[in-house]
Amino acid sequence: MSSNNQPWTFYGRRLVQTGNLNHNDTLFGGTMMSWIDEEIYIYAKCQLGNQDDMTMVTARFGEINFRSPAHKGNIIEFGMKTTMLGRTSITVDVLVRNKSTHSIICEVNDVTFVCVDPETMAPKPHGIKECKQ
């Protein structure tokens, strides 16, 4: 997935429930993508110092690979690595796995969030030189 040698750190967890399932009784991919977007936003915001006045938007989702299904009752967890810190952006790789079995459910490469001015939506420097980890 990522050539970054940083170890995976698992942050958020979700419980797969009936309302999250598709017609095959597995986790709906759209729900997974929404959860990933939210989890990365939280991770990225924390890496950039969790400034209340910082506005960030999703700029890019790279390659997405669904590896195995998640079923009702599974607890899934989200591992993240910062792969790049730009002047206005942060790029992250994500690994989603089953908490119990550690089987990989989904991998996403190169998800980029950009800090923007809330009024003009123009990219705005975040002022961070190093992630908080």
pLDDT at residue number 52: 86
Question: Stretch 60-76: mean pLDDT, rounded?
Answer: 97
Domains, the chain: 9-116 (3.10.129.10)
What is the enclosing helix (H) or strand (E) of 42?
Answer: helix 29-47
Percent of the chain topping pLDDT 90: 85
- In the block, tokens 């809330």 appear at 118
Question: Helix (H, G, I), strand (E, B), or coil: what is residue 49?
Answer: coil
Mark residue 2 as left, alpha or beta (left: phi above 0; alpha: psi -120 to 50; beta: remaining): beta
